[in-house]
């Protein structure tokens, strides 16, 4: 079996391309980090990939609103190929800044397959400040990306992750079952006694999909939870396991998402 | 004296319809409003606030174009835009608009510009095709400007409205308009006008007459080259001797120096670049402090270790120091200070600080990848609102401590987060003496393969014939005289152009293009960053590699026209690297940079002429021998004097002092140190007796709770949380540890996804000890930095140090005396631990000369501050130990001895502050009940004055063995949690462990190992009698001492009960003792020396106090 090919977009301040690429590689894909300008130059190469990832970062320094400037660049130079890609049986993920980019583009929620109209926003965190911590998530809908996962904990790191949609859109998101992830109070919030919603997101929404479930946008970072030793509570878990004579697991919770993408193509 | 360039700016009023603006507002509540309301809480009359962003676009555009552009700027779900009009929210009474001054970097505007260019398919980053750009770079009449608008409702008068505006802007970098609704309706938005430079007619190149008398020469050095209008260009910071050397040199050449030559020499010879104080002959030390004690320590350690054990690869010669990580990689570390710029523009200063030290990493060897940032801030109390002024008559007000603090924190957030570099560790330290000059330490760790293209990656060499290439940002007036300026004290003459604004994304773009691509393609032969001194330093430094350089000045890309050649040459405009690119590689290099949207320009050639030559418009404007430039600086001979504890309190009395002067109240005694030492023995017993008697008066529980809320001990979670520490997916032991989220003093990252090896980072800093003895201060900083890392799992064999000296008044012999002692300790303790210094930086004049709120002159000097940073390698990150206690029933041990060493401690400082407060509140009204207090006060005073000479002393020999044994215990997985004892002593360390684990503790001090104070020991590595000085007989220490003494060499650990035997076996023969257990419940109790309970509280109370100080931040 040939390995699924993953294209990891980078450039202009995207900064999570290496860990995202590693996540896919470790899960069994072949990753290639491609600068957006190289993709614009040879936009035909997109068709050689099964997975497209918009990683986290600070494209254009979040100036004029996170993801906006990068989305403009994609829209003006790559939109046609992008639409070809999402309309095929392929997978797209936008993580953090990537989620901001794909929601600006309209790749999510893309009601009635309109992949080019912006319906939701990720605005400034409610306390106006960047936040780096872990959150707990509950899976809400069906998407290949989250298959078999009921809940998981991942880190976030963003200044503009406050999900917003107007009441009409919100209702539609619910009706069409496009809300993929919600912030909940789970094991990490319990562990460090933190509120479940880190940024003021409406209805605790942390991630959404398109109607096919192939395109997932989420604020939390599976790429920052590749190893068990990245969990905030791993030193405690280690002591507990050691005293039971058990070994420390290797993988972090984020790996499940990368593995799901590979499973989808096998 | 007026400094800087006499350029002024006016507004161009739109008469050609070429100025347009777009206002963007949110349709839903803007979270920025909430933050602003918090900031403006004091203005009770404000009823409502709203905000918007306005972009002025200076360019002839059709309505259709403008509408398209507005679409680019708006998020349609939450925002709306209006073109060439603003929509005042209903009930707006005041309109405050803030924009940038001309010449100041405006990142948002630049992004807007880029988006517009991209959209209109004119995007072309190459400057050779200037005419295809949408905006012409060098035109004066095109551009984009961003404005932040604030609409305020409420009954406010004009002065209040202006005050609000001033709280939100910094006049050094920003312009402001405050208008009432009426005025606004008449004049409209500030966005209608464009700030425009009106340039003076520049003299291209001035020849400087050096045929001057000493007085005039001094003035030239202090205030700079005179302009035609009589103003001066800003400090050269050259002293008389240096100027005379230059005078003689040019006399020999038979010509006058040109301004660019003089400015270039001033940059290269500045304290900031040359570190003259550290490298000059001092007393009997001919080779200087740096060579003997810092570099000397590293050399000695490397000699002692054999090749496989020597971890050093590149030390003291590059932009950062490098040690071995594993068989394939090196790791680098560098810590910088950015104090003066941060005092003037905290946000911009901090952004440029962190980006600058990132560039030190990118500029290491062939280019290392930045993988972790580190920060350390020394501030004055943010609650201190008494004004300070740089000039008489209450002019040039300094920013208040809180604004400096919040600005600096925010600046590093911007710089670090935007660059995608995690910040796993940092600290904040507070002392009133940082009010005049805050200290802003910023550090970056990097990683680089050992071998790149079959060559050692830490070696680089520009070759004659290689192009000189600059990459990144363009040159403007920002940061002119930064290097010479930070070599002096902060006063009214400090030029405003020294402030720069950072642009993290420009840097991120070239960082990725260079380190992740061009480096491995072998497209360049050498690289360095542009920091202090700009091109004048980076090009001339690299010219040493090839043997000369020839620069064509007009090829250097500038932000705007009409810069003088000397300005272009020394400007510290940010985000630039200088590289040497072989001619045959240039096409590939240029192409790659173009595709990465990075500007790269050839500005000349490296040569082997032995000269630095610059031409401008085909005319020679600089022609200096490299030898003279780099080695012509006259050697200085410095003399030090022994430090006397009382000098600086009495000296400062010569200046008229206000309450600002902290020395006066802090150290009121007048005895000399010598006489104190003689009496100390007899008084020791008395102290003990007295402390026993006052023990009852102390409520230790309450004192511990108060201690935990102190600025230096409290949680600064709000900082750790806004610094991304998870990016790059490497964070293992995080800045906030355990259930209770306690700020850790060491962090662990795992830089390679495919390896279990980790990097441990830590630090040590104890400025208060300097007031007593800088030798021991430095020793403690080293021990703390080493021990924090060791406690977490570092191995002494794979641990390196960095030094950052921040001194004050370094022309004062006693301050030099203190410096000499501190440097000597650096040698002694680095050698004793076998931990080499790999990099360092110093900042020698952290003094403020200005005026207090009454207009009286004040001088505020920091306490001599030494930051020691440590970087170590741990073979398996799974062995790293966090600080939180893990399970009820676990046993708690103390390793190391406790001694009567409260001198300079956080507790002593706490007592001092309390006394001052009591003293000031003792008004006649409550005098009746003050007799008891008075007795207690005098008792406390007595104790503090006596014990303050008992500064902690370090026995490196014993500690080293203990740390080695401890590492053995870590390897065997015996340690469940660990915390080294630092500021606040044992009580605070225990409390932090309990808070972190959210579990109670039952502690007893009964068996705690103690020792007498080793007062006279000065040299642990050579003094054979050292251990003899330490009397190991169990001296009875007071509970106060046991609770709060800051004796070094101690680690608190918890272990699983089943590991008791194997644990105790490892530490047999070492001073250690079981001191308690982790409880099932939340009770936190301590039993004193004599078996009675002296402290009783619970984890909730501890947690609450630990978090309360900054809970509103």
Q: What is the pLDDT of residue B936?
A: 53
H-assigned helices in B120-196: 158-168, 181-187
Q: What is the pLDDT of residue B141?
A: 65
A238 contacts on B by Cβ (under 8 Å): 878
Pick from A63, A65, A238: which is nearest to B107 by CB? A63
B118 contacts on A by Cβ (under 8 Å): 72-73, 76
Nearest CA to CA, how far is A247 from chain B (Å)? 11
Max Cα-Cα span within chain A: 58
Residue A170 predicted with pLDDT over 60: yes
Q: Using an 8 Å Cβ cutoff, are B1102 and B708 in contact?
A: yes
- Beta-carbon separation of B76 and A118 below 8 A: yes
What mean pLDDT do residues B233-246 have? 88
Please, which residues bridge with residue A134 across strands? A155
Nearest CA to CA, how far is A1 from chain B (Å)? 24
* pLDDT confidence band for B306 (50 / 70 / 90): confident
To the nearest whole percent, how much of chain B has pLDDT over 70?
A: 84
Considering only CA atoms, which of B52, B22, B32 is closest in space to residue B145?
B22
Pick from A62, A128, A229: which is nearest to B34 by CB? A128
Structural domain tally of chain A?
1
Mean pLDDT: which of B100-109, B841-850, B938-947, B1046-1055 is highest? B1046-1055
Pick from A165, A223, A235: which is nearest to B77 by CB? A165
B976 contacts on A by Cβ (under 8 Å): 239
What mean pLDDT do residues B520-533 have? 93
Query: 3-state DSSP call for residue B910?
Result: helix
Nearest CA in chain B to A15: B420
- Beta-carbon separation of A13 and B505 below 8 A: yes
The boundaries of the domain holding residue A24 are 5-264
Mean pLDDT: which of B180-184, B274-278, B569-573 is highest? B180-184
Nearest CA in chain B to A247: B878
- Beta-carbon separation of B505 and A61 below 8 A: yes
Most A CBs within 10 Å, among B75, B413, B505, B891, to test the A interface = B75
Q: Using an 8 Å Cβ cutoff, are B320 and B446 in contact?
A: yes
Structure confidence by residue, pLDDT tens digits, B466-506? 999 999 988 887 777 665 555 566 665 544 455 677 889 99
What mean pLDDT do residues B551-566 have? 88
What mean pLDDT do residues A156-161 have? 96
- Beta-carbon separation of A62 and B418 below 8 A: yes
The answer to whether the Cα torsion of B13, B14, B20, B24 is positive or negative is positive
* pLDDT confidence band for B1 (50 / 70 / 90): very low
Distance CA B630, CA B482 (A): 19
Q: What is the pLDDT of residue B426?
A: 97
Instruction: Number of A to B CB contacts under 8 A, please give it.
Output: 197
Is residue B254 classed exposed, middle or buried when 0-12, 13-18 and 19+ CB atoms within 10 A define those classes?
A: exposed
Q: What is the pLDDT of residue B344?
A: 86
What mean pLDDT do residues B1079-1101 have? 94
Least confident span in B198-212, B327-341, B1083-1097: B198-212
Q: What is the pLDDT of residue B628?
A: 92
* pLDDT confidence band for B918 (50 / 70 / 90): low
- Beta-carbon separation of B721 and A133 below 8 A: yes
Distance CA A101, CA A53 (A): 11
Residue B1033 predicted with pLDDT over 80: no
Q: What is the pLDDT of residue B564?
A: 87
Structure confidence by residue, pLDDT tens digits, B29-44? 888 998 888 888 888 8
Left if phi > 0, otherwise alpha if psi is -120 to 50, otherwise beta: which for B756?
alpha
Q: What is the pLDDT of residue A195?
A: 96
Left if phi > 0, otherwise alpha if psi is -120 to 50, otherwise beta: which for B629?
alpha
Residue B1022 predicted with pLDDT over 80: no
* Total-model pTM: 0.90
Q: What is the ipTM of this complex?
A: 0.97
Mean confidence (pLDDT) of chain B: 85
Distance CA B818, CA B810 (A): 10
Q: What is the pLDDT of residue B119?
A: 79
Which two structure tokens, joined as six digits, stand for B347? 């946000």
Distance CA B164, CA B133 (A): 40
Most A CBs within 10 Å, among B26, B31, B737, to test the A interface = B31
Q: What is the pLDDT of residue B484?
A: 59
- Beta-carbon separation of B112 and A64 below 8 A: yes
For residue B311, the tally of other CB atoms under 10 A from its CB is: 25
Q: Using an 8 Å Cβ cutoff, are B198 and B9 in contact?
A: yes
| Higher per-residue confidence, B390 vs B799 | B799
Nearest CA in chain A to B53: A64
Distance CA A22, CA A31 (A): 7
CATH number of the domain residue A241 falls in: 3.40.50.880
Which two structure tokens, joined as six digits, stand for B361? 């990493």
Most B CBs within 10 Å, among A42, A64, A252, to test the B interface = A64
Q: What is the pLDDT of residue B827?
A: 97
What mean pLDDT do residues B797-805 have? 97
Tell me the residues of chain B between 1011 and 1030 that have a Cβ less than 8 Å away from chain A: none
Nearest CA to CA, how far is B53 from chain A (Å)? 9
Pick from B76, B595, B886: which is nearest to A236 by CB? B886
Nearest CA to CA, how far is B126 from chain A (Å)? 14
Nearest CA to CA, how far is B473 from chain A (Å)? 14
Nearest CA to CA, how far is A241 from chain B (Å)? 12
Distance CA B373, CA B22 (A): 37
Residue B1023 predicted with pLDDT over 60: no
- Beta-carbon separation of B731 and A230 below 8 A: yes
What mean pLDDT do residues B986-1001 have? 98
Nearest CA in chain A to B975: A239
Nearest CA to CA, how far is B611 from chain A (Å)? 39
| Higher per-residue confidence, B13 vs A188 | A188
Mean confidence (pLDDT) of chain A: 96
Structure confidence by residue, pLDDT tens digits, A135-154? 999 999 999 999 999 999 99
Structure confidence by residue, pLDDT tens digits, A74-104? 999 999 999 999 999 999 999 999 999 999 9
The residue to which tokens 């991630």 are assigned: A207
Residue B938 predicted with pLDDT over 80: no
Structure confidence by residue, pLDDT tens digits, B839-876? 999 999 999 999 998 889 999 999 999 999 999 999 99
- Beta-carbon separation of B877 and A229 below 8 A: yes
> Which helix (H) or strand (E) element contains residue A76?
helix A68-86
Distance CA B103, CA A26 (A): 48
Query: What are chain B's domains?
Result: 8-198 (no CATH), 214-272 (no CATH), 672-711+883-901+952-1113 (3.90.650.10)
- Beta-carbon separation of B504 and A58 below 8 A: yes
Tell me the residues of chain B between 32 and 71 that have a Cβ less than 8 Å away from chain A: 32, 34-35, 53
A160 contacts on B by Cβ (under 8 Å): none
Residue B942 predicted with pLDDT over 80: no
Nearest CA to CA, how far is B348 from chain A (Å)? 15
- Beta-carbon separation of B418 and A61 below 8 A: yes
Distance CA B569, CA B550 (A): 13
Most B CBs within 10 Å, among A13, A233, A252, A257, to test the B interface = A13
What mean pLDDT do residues B102-126 have? 75
Most A CBs within 10 Å, among B53, B69, B78, to test the A interface = B78
Residue B933 predicted with pLDDT over 90: no
Least confident span in A20-24, A35-39, B64-68, B93-97: B64-68
Residue B132 predicted with pLDDT over 90: no
Q: Does B79 touch chain A (CB under 8 A)?
A: yes
B512 contacts on A by Cβ (under 8 Å): 10
Distance CA B622, CA B259 (A): 9
- Beta-carbon separation of A69 and B884 below 8 A: no
Pick from B72, B75, B503: which is nearest to A121 by CB? B75
Residue B1097 predicted with pLDDT over 90: yes
- Beta-carbon separation of A162 and B31 below 8 A: yes
């Amino acid at each position: 079996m040939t390995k699924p090919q993953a294209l990891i977009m980078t450039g202009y301040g995207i900064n999570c391309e290496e860990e995202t690429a590693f996540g896919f590689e470790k899960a069994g894909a072949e990753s290639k980090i491609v600068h957006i300008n190289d993709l614009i130059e040879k936009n035909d190469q997109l068709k050689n990939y099964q997975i497209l990832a918009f990683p986290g970062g600070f494209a254009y320094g979040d100036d004029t609103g996170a993801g906006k400037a990068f989305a403009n660049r994609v829209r003006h130079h790559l939109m046609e190929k992008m639409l070809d890609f999402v309309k095929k049986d392929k997978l797209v993920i936008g993580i953090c800044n990537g989620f901001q980019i794909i929601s600006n583009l309209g790749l999510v929620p893309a009601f009635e397959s309109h992949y080019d109209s912006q319906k939701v926003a990720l605005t400034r965190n409610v306390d106006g400040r960047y936040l780096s911590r872990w959150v707990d998530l509950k899976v809400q809908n069906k998407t290949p990306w989250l298959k078999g996962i009921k809940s998981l904990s991942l880190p976030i790191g963003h200044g503009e992750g406050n999900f917003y949609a107007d009441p009409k859109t919100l209702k539609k998101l619910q009706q069409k079952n496009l809300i993929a992830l919600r912030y909940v109070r789970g094991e990490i919030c319990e562990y460090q006694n933190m509120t479940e919603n880190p940024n003021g997101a409406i209805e605790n929404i942390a991630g959404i999909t398109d109607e096919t479930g192939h395109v997932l946008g989420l604020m939390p970072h599976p790429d920052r939870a590749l190893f068990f030793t990245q969990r905030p509570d791993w030193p405690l878990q280690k002591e507990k396991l050691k005293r039971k004579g058990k070994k420390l697991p290797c993988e972090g919770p984020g790996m499940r998402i990368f593995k799901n993408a590979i499973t989808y193509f096998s | 004296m007026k400094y800087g360039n006499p350029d002024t700016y006016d507004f161009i009023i739109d008469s050609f319809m070429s100025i347009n603006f777009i206002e963007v507002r949110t349709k839903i509540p803007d979270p920025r409003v909430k933050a602003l309301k918090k900031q403006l809480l004091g203005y009770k009359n404000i009823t409502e606030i709203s905000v918007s962003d306005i972009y002025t676009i200076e360019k002839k555009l059709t309505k259709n174009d403008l509408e398209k552009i507005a679409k680019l700027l708006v998020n349609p779900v939450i925002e709306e835009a209006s073109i060439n009009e603003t929509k005042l929210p209903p009930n707006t009474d005041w309109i405050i608009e803030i924009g940038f001054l001309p010449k100041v970097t405006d990142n948002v505007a630049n992004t807007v510009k880029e988006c517009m260019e991209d959209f209109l398919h004119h995007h072309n980053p190459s400057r050779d095709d200037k005419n295809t750009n949408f905006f012409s770079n060098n035109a004066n009449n095109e551009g984009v400007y961003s404005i932040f608008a604030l609409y305020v409702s409420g009954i406010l008068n004009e002065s209040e409205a202006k005050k609000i505006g001033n709280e939100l802007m910094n006049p050094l970098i920003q312009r402001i308009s405050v208008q009432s609704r009426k005025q606004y309706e008449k004049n409209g938005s500030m966005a209608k006008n464009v700030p425009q430079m009106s340039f003076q007619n520049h003299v291209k190149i001035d020849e400087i007459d050096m045929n001057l008398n000493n007085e005039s020469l001094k003035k030239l050095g202090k205030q700079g080259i005179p302009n035609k209008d009589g103003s001066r260009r800003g400090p050269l910071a050259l002293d008389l001797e240096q100027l005379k050397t230059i005078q003689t040199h040019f006399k020999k050449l038979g010509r006058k120096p040109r301004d660019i030559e003089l400015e270039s020499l001033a940059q290269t010879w500045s304290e900031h670049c040359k570190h003259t104080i550290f490298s000059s002959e001092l007393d009997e030390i001919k080779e200087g402090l740096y060579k003997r004690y810092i570099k000397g320590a590293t050399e000695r350690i490397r000699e002692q270790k054999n090749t496989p054990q020597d971890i050093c690869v590149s030390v003291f010669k590059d932009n950062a120091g490098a040690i071995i990580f594993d068989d394939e990689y090196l790791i680098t570390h560098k810590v910088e200070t950015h104090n003066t710029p941060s005092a003037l523009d905290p946000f911009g200063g901090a952004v440029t600080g962190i980006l600058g030290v990132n560039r030190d990493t990118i500029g290491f060897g062939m280019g290392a990848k930045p993988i972790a940032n580190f920060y350390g801030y020394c501030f004055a109390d943010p609650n201190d609102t008494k004004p300070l002024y740089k000039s008489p008559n209450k002019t040039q007000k300094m920013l208040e401590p809180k604004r400096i603090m919040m600005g600096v924190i925010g600046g590093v957030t911007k710089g670090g987060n935007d660059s995608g570099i995690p910040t796993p560790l940092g600290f904040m330290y507070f002392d009133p003496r940082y009010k005049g000059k805050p200290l802003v330490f910023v550090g970056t760790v990097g990683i680089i393969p050992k071998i790149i293209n079959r060559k050692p990656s830490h070696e680089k060499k520009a070759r004659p014939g290689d192009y000189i290439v600059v990459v990144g940002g363009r040159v403007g007036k920002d940061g002119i005289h930064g290097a010479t300026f930070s070599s002096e004290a902060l006063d009214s003459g400090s030029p405003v152009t020294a402030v720069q604004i950072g642009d993290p994304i420009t840097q991120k773009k070239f960082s990725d293009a260079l380190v992740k691509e061009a480096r491995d393609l072998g497209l360049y032969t050498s690289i360095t960053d542009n920091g202090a001194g700009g091109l004048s330093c980076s090009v001339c430094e690299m010219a040493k590699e090839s043997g000369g350089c020839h620069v064509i000045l007009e090829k250097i890309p500038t932000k705007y026209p009409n810069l003088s050649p000397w300005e272009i040459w020394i400007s510290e405009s940010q985000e630039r690297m200088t590289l040497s690119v072989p001619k045959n590689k240039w096409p590939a290099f240029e192409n790659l940079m173009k595709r990465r949207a990075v500007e790269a320009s050839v500005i000349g050639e490296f040569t082997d002429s032995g000269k630095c030559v610059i031409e401008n418009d085909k005319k020679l404007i600089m022609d200096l021998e490299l030898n003279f430039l780099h080695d012509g600086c006259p050697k200085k001979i410095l003399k030090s004097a022994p430090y006397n504890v009382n000098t600086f309190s009495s000296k400062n009395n010569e200046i008229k002092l206000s309450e600002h002067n902290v020395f006066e109240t802090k150290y009121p005694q007048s005895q000399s140190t010598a006489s104190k030492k003689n009496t100390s023995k007899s008084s020791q017993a008395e102290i003990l007796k007295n402390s026993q008697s006052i023990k009852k008066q102390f409520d230790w529980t309450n004192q511990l709770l108060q201690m935990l809320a102190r600025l230096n001990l409290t949680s600064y979670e709000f900082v750790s949380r806004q610094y991304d520490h998870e990016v790059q997916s490497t964070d293992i032991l995080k800045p906030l540890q355990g259930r209770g989220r306690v700020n850790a003093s060491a962090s662990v990252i795992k830089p390679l996804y495919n390896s279990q090896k980790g990097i441990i980072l830590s630090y040590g800093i104890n400025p208060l000890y300097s007031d007593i003895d800088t030798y021991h201060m430095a020793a403690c900083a080293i021990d703390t930095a080493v021990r924090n890392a060791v406690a977490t799992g570092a191995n002494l064999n794979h641990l390196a140090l960095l030094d950052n000296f921040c001194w004050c008044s370094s022309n004062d012999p006693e301050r030099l005396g203190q410096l000499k002692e501190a440097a000597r300790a650096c040698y002694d303790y680095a050698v004793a631990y076998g931990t080499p210094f790999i990099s360092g930086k110093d900042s020698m004049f952290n003094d403020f000369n200005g005026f207090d709120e009454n207009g009286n002159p004040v001088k505020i000097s920091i306490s001599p501050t030494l930051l020691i940073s440590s970087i170590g390698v741990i073979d398996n990150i799974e062995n790293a130990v966090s600080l939180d206690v893990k399970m009820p029933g676990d046993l708690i041990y103390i390793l190391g001895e406790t001694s009567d060493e409260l001198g300079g401690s956080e507790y002593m400082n706490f007592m001092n502050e309390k006394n001052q407060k009591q003293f000031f509140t003792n008004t006649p009204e409550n005098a009746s009940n003050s007799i008891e207090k008075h007795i207690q006060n005098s008792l406390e005073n007595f104790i503090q004055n006596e014990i303050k000479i008992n500064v902690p002393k370090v026995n490196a020999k014993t500690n080293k063995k203990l740390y080695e044994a401890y590492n053995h215990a870590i390897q065997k997985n015996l340690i469940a949690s660990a915390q080294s004892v630092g500021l606040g002593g044992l009580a605070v360390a225990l409390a932090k462990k309990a808070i972190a684990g959210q579990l109670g503790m039952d502690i007893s001090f009964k068996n705690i190992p103690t020792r007498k104070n080793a007062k006279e020991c000065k040299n642990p590595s050579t003094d054979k009698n050292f251990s003899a000085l330490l009397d190991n007989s169990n001296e009875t220490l007071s509970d106060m001492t046991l609770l709060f003494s800051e004796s070094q060499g101690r680690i608190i650990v918890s272990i699983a009960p089943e590991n008791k035997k194997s644990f105790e076996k490892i530490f047999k023969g070492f001073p250690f003792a079981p001191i308690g257990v982790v409880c099932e419940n939340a009770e936190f109790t301590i039993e004193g020396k004599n078996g009675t309970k002296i402290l009783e509280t619970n984890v909730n109370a501890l947690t609450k106090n630990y978090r309360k100080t900054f809970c509103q931040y």
